[in-house]
Amino acid sequence: MAKPTAAGWISLQSKRLLLLLLVVFSVSTVVALFVRNINEACETRRDVSVSSSYGGGRVQLSPPPVVAAGEGLKSPLGFMRSKLVVLVSHELSLSGGPLLLMELAFLLRSAGASVVWVTYQKPSETNEVIYSLDQKMLDRGVQVLSARGREVIDATLKADLVVLNTAVAGKWLDAVLKEHVHQVLPKTLWWIHEMRGHYFKLEYVKHLPSVAGAMIDSHTTAEYWKNRTHDRLGINMPQTYVVHLGNSKELMEVAEDYVARRVLREHIREALGVRNEDLLFAIINSVSRGKGQDLFLQAFYESLRLIQEQKLQVPTMHAVVVGSDMNAQSKFEAELRAFVSKKGIYDRVHFVNKTLTVAPYLAAIDVLVQNSQARGECFGRITIEAMAFQLPVLGTAAGGTTEIVVNGSTGLLHPAGKEGVSQLAKNMVKLATHVERRLTLGRKGYERVKDRFMERHMASRIASVLKQILQKSKRPSM
């Protein structure tokens, strides 16, 4: 009697599955959105095309956090209880930087802190996305203020902590605080997610040396900031803390649900015309030269050639490029398609539009290729997301990727640039011919993610930074 029947099990499973699919497909929570967008945090802020499911008021707001007595103390951020924190964002949008800051806002709220959100740039038009993000924050008890006015200055002066998000937000300091700037700098933490030349401008970052600290997404990026500010601008970085990002609970829930993964895999493969037994390599990043989709396709073509040449017995191989923007009609997009058609591999290469939800693709593929060029990713959130799905990563030996992927253990690294193409091709062949190896790399990746790239790890790293900043700002330097 007590034993559940098979049918009962299935219906229970499918209910759970439905729920998961809702989470995955409805784009219902900001966190689910955040999963996609944070990958772009280090790069140019692309405008996120909002999927149609965002319309019609389907954005569901999570209930406000219930902070039971003492609950705030259990969180690593418990010491922030009843502290006032002002978060300064250059904009309120679905791009990586703001969404990461929003995650921090909610972490602080659930620890019992008062949080004021200041948006530096009001969007020219108030669209539905902004409205719903605004609503979501209000629902969680975050007070949203526009960047100017007495109210903002008062809150900032009263605050225990000010967090400036992205290099660009530096402009806000002088523009709004004016003569109060130097009172505020000693309690300011600057969270930086960029690694591009045009951010190294005094106009943005001249107050960097005087803030209490800087928080940066990877060691490589921190090093780069240190070099560039010193060499280019002649200023020194303040005390700098590296905080790696972590996977959201929502993503992990899908990644760890075998049934959900299988259903998503079937669904996506069917849509692409890829059979279950085929081997699917993917690159998931908005399409641009910096992300290296061209070199990825060259390597893929090269791997097909190697397999043919050496008469290797391997599954049929496919490549998918997730992150196209067909509307943009960019030269680069055209170049990718021209390559595919010139080499006659259009039955093996698939293009998928930019999407906010990557989990279905992660469930469907066998290998993630992280092919960001030059200095690489500032962090590269898609890398830890793929590892959560037990996928091996073939990545460029650059940027944040080198801090996430362990060469030979959780993936294989190749050099950035044209000279990396043949190595990447060989690595693809290696994973095609050595199934066991491939699966082991994936499992090791999963273990590594569980070990150090979860939301709770990020929260406790941030907690330790905030603690130090608070202590520092209390010292009587004023």
Ligand X SMILES: *[C@@H]1O[C@H](CO)[C@@H](O)[C@H](O)[C@H]1NC(C)=O
Minimum Å distance from CB 414 to ligand X? 7
SS3 for 327? coil
- Compute the least distance from the CB of residue 431 to ligand X, in Å: 13
Where do we find the tokens 């002002």? 86
Q: Which stretch binds ligand X (CB under 6 A): 204-212, 221-229, 361-369, 457-465?
A: 221-229
Among 276, 327, 464, 471, binds ligand X (CB under 6 A): 327
Whether the CB-CB separation of 116 and 137 falls below 8 Å is answered with no
Could you tell me the two tokens for 313?
């017995």
Both tokens of residue 165?
């998000």
Q: Are 440 and 448 in contact (CB under 8 A)?
A: no
CB of 443 to ligand X, least distance (A): 18
Edge-to-edge strand ranges of the sheet holding 349-353:
349-353, 317-324, 279-284, 367-370, 393-396, 411-414
The binder of ligand X chosen from 310, 341, 353, 471 (CB under 6 A): 353
Residues 436 and 247: their CA atoms lie apart, in Å, by 26
Contact indicator for 42, 194 with CB cutoff of 8 Å: yes
Q: How far apart are CA 284 and CA 37, in angstroms?
A: 11
Query: CB 272 → ligand X: shortest distance, Å?
Result: 10
Residue 126 interacts with ligand X (CB under 6 A): yes or no? no
Q: Which stretch binds ligand X (CB under 6 A): 4-12, 24-32, 85-93, 216-224?
A: 216-224
Q: Quick one: which segment of 4-12, 66-74, 171-179, 405-413 binds ligand X (CB under 6 A)?
A: 405-413
Which residues 6+ apart lie within 8 Å of 3 measured at CB?
none
Span from 25-33, 170-178, 381-389, 406-414 in contact with ligand X (CB under 6 A): 406-414
When the beta carbons of 11 and 353 are compared against ligand X, the nearer one is 353
**In this chain, which of 54, 204, 224, 300 binds ligand X, going by CB under 6 A?**
224
Q: Which is nearer to ligand X, 218 or 473 (CB)?
A: 218
Minimum Å gap between C-beta 277 and ligand X is 24
Instruction: Identify the residue whose tokens are 């009962």.
Output: 8
Residues 6+ apart with CB under 8 A from 430: 412, 437
| Beta carbon nearer to ligand X, 153 or 397 | 397
**Candidate ranges 239-247, 306-314, 407-415, 445-453; the one touching ligand X (CB under 6 A):** 407-415
Would you list the DSSP string of 238-249? -SEEE----B-H
Residue 236 binds ligand X, judged by CB under 6 A: no
- Taking the least distance from each CB to ligand X, the nearer of 414 and 461 is 414
Residue of 286, 207, 246 lying closest to 43 (CA atoms): 286
- Indicate whether 227 belongs to the interface with ligand X (CB under 6 A): yes
Residue 213 Cβ vs ligand X, minimum distance, rounded to whole Å: 19
Contact status: 276 vs ligand X (CB under 6 A): no
Q: How far apart are CA 405 and CA 74, in angstroms?
A: 31
**Piece of 222-230, 253-261, 297-305, 438-446 that binds ligand X (CB under 6 A):** 222-230
Find how far residue 318's CA is from the centre of its chain. 25
Binding site for ligand X (CB under 6 A): 220, 223-224, 227, 326-327, 353, 397, 407-408, 413
